[in-house]
Amino acid sequence: MPNWCSNVLRAIGSKGEIDRLLEKAQGHGVAWPEGPADECARRKLLLDLNRFVPMPSEIVTAGYVNADTWCQQNWGTRTNVYPGTKRERICDYEVQFLFDTAWSPPRAVVVAMADQFPSLILELGYSELGMGFAGTLICVNGVVVLDEWYPYSIEDVPTVVTDDPGVEARLENVEDL
């Protein structure tokens, strides 16, 4: 089981380009010949990496186990997005995807998206607490303008629960239910 990398991808642009992005983003993952090899296979995905950087048929034919290296090199992550992706249309000109990937963010796919949708501003924010890193990738006019990562740990996560003095009382009430 992988460590999960949490990702937020935001796209800003004209209504027409956002609509076109949303249409292209939906897919069903990679249909592996030996059957569903992971939770993504043959499920409808709101954000399907394979729609932006298609896996070559010879890799699909070779099988899921052999695809890890290709995925890492061409998507930036070992597998497609986890099926629990959330999509929020902020307004006609902005959409946001919240999703998880295995071990690392799909930076290479976002760069490919920027090339395919150069009029959109794309911003990917990510964090992977298990491996201790986070970062940001921003593309404008089809060009990467910011690509940075930095060490990140659980100590960097806001301590909302421990900083709120009323949490213990509310948790006691939950236990009573």
Residue 162 in this model has a pLDDT that exceeds 80: no
DSSP letter string over 79-112?
S---TT-EEEEEETTEEEEEEEEESS--HHHHHH
Average pLDDT, the chain: 83
d(CA 97, CA 95): 7
Predicted local distance difference test score (pLDDT) of residue 116: 98
What residue has token string 């964090």?
127
SS3 state at 61: helix
Residue 120 in this model has a pLDDT that exceeds 60: yes
Domain at 4-176: CATH code: 3.30.70.1270
Helix axes 64-75, 107-116, angle to 10 degrees: 60
Predicted local distance difference test score (pLDDT) of residue 172: 52
Q: Report which of residues 12 and 129 the model is more confident about.
A: 12
pTM of structure: 0.81
Percent of the chain with pLDDT over 90: 55
73 alpha carbon, distance to own chain's centre: 16
Lowest mean pLDDT among 1-5, 18-22, 28-32: 28-32
Q: Judge contact between 93 and 120, C-beta under 8 A.
A: no
Lowest mean pLDDT among 40-54, 103-117, 136-150, 154-168: 154-168
Looking at the chain, which runs of residues are DSSP E strands?
Answer: 4-12, 86-91, 94-102, 121-128, 133-140, 143-151
Predicted local distance difference test score (pLDDT) of residue 89: 96
Q: What is the mean pLDDT of residues 12-35?
A: 86
Q: Which residues pair with 126 in a beta bridge?
A: 7, 135
Predicted local distance difference test score (pLDDT) of residue 114: 98
Predicted local distance difference test score (pLDDT) of residue 64: 63
Q: Report which of residues 33 and 91 the model is more confident about.
A: 91
Q: Which residues pair with 146 in a beta bridge?
A: 138
